[in-house]
Structure 1
C-alpha cells in the first residue's frame, strides 16, 4: 500500500520571526489567479442564495451593513474548504499552535468610488457591539486579538483599495475598545483623514483613541497589493486600513477574511446576539469551526459541518 505524504505549507523559522516582528506575513498564493477568477464567478451566484445561511437577512438588516457579510463559511462548501485550506491553516498554526478555531469570516467589498477604511486595531472586537467577542485566558495576557487571513478574490491594487499596514504596531493598543463608538451612518466625512478619504462603516474610529491628539504614523505604512488568489496573514492588533477605490473603470475589490484563535480562547462569551453596524444577528445557529488539531475545551459553541451537510476538513 502506498502511503500518502501530506504536503505542508509551514513557513520557515525566518518567516515566522519576521511575522512576530512586523505583525504580518505575505502576500502568499492560495489559488492560481485563473482558478480564483473561475471559482468566484461560480460562487458569487451560489452565495446569492441565503436559504441555508445561519443569519437571517432581515434580522441582519442586510442592506449596506457589514454584519450581513459574516460567516458564510457556515453554509458555503467553497468557503468552508477555504477557511480550512492547508496553505492558510499551516501558516496560522505556525503562529498560534496546533489547535486552532476559525471563529468568524467576513466579506470586504469595495466598489468604485468607495472611501477607504480608517486606521484601526482590534483586540476583543468590543468596539462596535460593546461586549468582548473574543477573550484570551488570563494567563496569556501578552496575547490578544485574532489572526486574520485576508484573501483577494479580485485584484487589490493601490487604485482599487488595497489594505495598508503599519508594521510593528501589533504590540501596543492605541485605542480603548471599551469606550464604544456612536453609529452614525449618515454622517458625511467632510475632511480627508491624513490626506485620504476614509471611514469605518458608519463609525468614527478616532472616538476610541486613548490620546485624542495622537495620529497614526502613516509615513510608515505599506500597501498590500495582491492578485486574485493571494492572501496575507496578520494580527488584528496591528494598525491597518485600506485605500479608497478610486479606479472608476475597474471592478469591485473583494476581500474575504477568515479569523482564527487558539481553542483556549473564549468566543462570544455570555452572548446570544451580536448588535453592530446598525444590524443585529442571533447566534442560535452559530458555531466555531475546528480547522486544526483538537479542541478539548467546552466553552465554545462548535459545528463540524455546514448547514448543507459539508464536513469541515480538519488539518
Structure 2
C-alpha cells in the first residue's frame, strides 16, 4: 500500500457513497499564500496550451482548462502523492490526468445544477473520454481542491451519496447553449444553473428530479480536497454574498491509462467557444502507459517536468 492510499474502510465507503474525504493537502495559510502568488501568474496566457481568442475573449469555461500544462504549481499539484495514491487505490496503478479546470463562485452567484458526467459529451455532443472495458458507465475520478474556504454560504459542493452507479442523464441528447436563458429552479426555489446550459435537457425521464432530501454538503477549509466519481450526482450551493470573497475550486480529473481521451477529436466545442487540441496531452501520474492510446506530456510548455517522479 502506498503512503496515502485509501484504507480498506475508506475504500469500502467510497465504493458505497461515490466520494471520499475531505483530506488536507495544504494548511489554509499555505494555500492562501500559494494562491496569492499563482493567481497573478495565471493571468499570463502566453504559454497556455489553448490560445483560441474566441473562447478567451468570451470568458467561456473552456478558456481555463488545463492550466497545469503551463503553470508549475498546478503541474506539481495534480501529481501530489497525497492525491495520486488515493486515486490509484481506486483506479489501479496506471493513471493519467486528462484535464484540470477552475470553478469560481462570486458573491451572489447561483448554485450549480445537479449533474453527472460519464463521457463528458454533455456540452459538446462528442464523447471526450471512452472506456473500452465492458462497463455500464465510465466517468472520471475528480479531485476537487478548495483553493479558498467552501461553506454552505460560499457555494460548497453537494453530493447525493450512492448515485454514481446509475446514470439519470443521457449525454447523447446534447444541450442548447444560451448564457442568457432563465435560470432553472429546484423544487425548493433555489436558483441553479449550469454555465449557460439547462442540464435538465439531458434527463432520461423528463418527469424525474433529484432527491435533494438525501443531499450532503461538503464544507471544506482552504487547502482540502475531496475525491469523487464524476457519475456521482453533484451540485453546489449558491454564493450567498455575505462575504465578497470568491469561492474557488480547482478540479483535476483522472482515468486509467487504458481510457481513450478525446478519441477522434481535434477540437473541443462547448460553452460557446472552441479550442484546438493540437498542443494538448495527458499526464502520466502513476504506473505505466501500456496502451499508447493518448499523447503524453512529460514537461509543461515552460519546460518544467510534469507527472510521476
Q: What is the TM-score of this pair, normalised by structure 1?
A: 0.95
Does the CA contact (< 8 Å) of 1:61 and 1:278 recur in 2? no
Does the CA contact (< 8 Å) of 2:52 and 2:276 recur in 1? no
- TM-superposed deviation, 1:140: 3.3
- TM-superposed deviation, 1:247: 2.4
User: Which residue is 1:31 aligned to?
Assistant: 26
User: Which residue is 2:209 aligned to?
Assistant: 215
User: Which residue is 2:117 aligned to?
Assistant: 122
Alpha-carbon distance in 2 for matches of 1:190, 1:81:
38
For the pair 1:145 / 2:133, whether they are aligned, the reply is no
- Out of 124, 128, 131, the residue aligned to residue 126 of structure 2 is 131
- Out of 283, 291, 296, the residue aligned to residue 290 of structure 2 is 296
Alpha-carbon distance in 2 for matches of 1:140, 1:59:
38
Does the CA contact (< 8 Å) of 2:71 and 2:300 recur in 1? yes
Does the CA contact (< 8 Å) of 1:61 and 1:280 recur in 2? no
Alpha-carbon distance in 2 for matches of 1:225, 1:190:
24
- Out of 213, 229, 240, the residue aligned to residue 234 of structure 2 is 240
- TM-superposed deviation, 1:62: 4.1
Alpha-carbon distance in 1 for matches of 2:89, 2:282:
20
Does the CA contact (< 8 Å) of 1:115 and 1:197 recur in 2? yes
Does the CA contact (< 8 Å) of 1:96 and 1:261 recur in 2? yes
Q: Which runs of 5+ in 2 are unaligned?
A: none
User: Which residue is 1:195 aligned to?
Assistant: 189
- TM-superposed deviation, 1:65: 1.3
User: Which residue is 1:96 aligned to?
Assistant: 91
User: Which residue is 1:51 aligned to?
Assistant: 46
Alpha-carbon distance in 2 for matches of 1:19, 1:289:
24
SS in 1 for 2:225: strand
Q: What is the TM-score of this pair, normalised by structure 2?
A: 0.97
Q: CA 1:269/1:194 → structure 2, altered by over 3 Å: closer, same or farther?
A: farther
SS in 2 for 1:255: strand
Alpha-carbon distance in 2 for matches of 1:79, 1:167:
29
Q: CA 1:142/1:176 → structure 2, altered by over 3 Å: closer, same or farther?
A: closer
Larger mean CA deviation between 60-69 and 32-41 belongs to 60-69
- TM-superposed deviation, 1:141: 1.1
Number of residue-to-residue matches in the alignment: 309
For the pair 1:254 / 2:242, whether they are aligned, the reply is no
User: Which residue is 1:87 aligned to?
Assistant: 82
User: Which residue is 1:170 aligned to?
Assistant: 164
- Out of 15, 20, 23, the residue aligned to residue 10 of structure 2 is 15
User: Which residue is 2:222 aligned to?
Assistant: 228
Alpha-carbon distance in 2 for matches of 1:89, 1:30:
12
- TM-superposed deviation, 1:260: 0.2
User: Which residue is 2:277 aligned to?
Assistant: 283
Does the CA contact (< 8 Å) of 1:71 and 1:105 recur in 2? yes
SS in 1 for 2:86: helix
- Out of 69, 72, 95, the residue aligned to residue 64 of structure 2 is 69
Larger mean CA deviation between 47-56 and 192-201 belongs to 192-201
SS in 2 for 1:178: helix
- TM-superposed deviation, 1:298: 1.6
CA displacement 1:6-28 (0-9 Å, x = unmatched): 97111110000100000000000
- TM-superposed deviation, 1:57: 4.8
User: Which residue is 1:60 aligned to?
Assistant: 55
User: Which residue is 2:261 aligned to?
Assistant: 267
SS in 2 for 1:140: coil
Q: Name the Cα RMSD after superposition.
A: 1.4
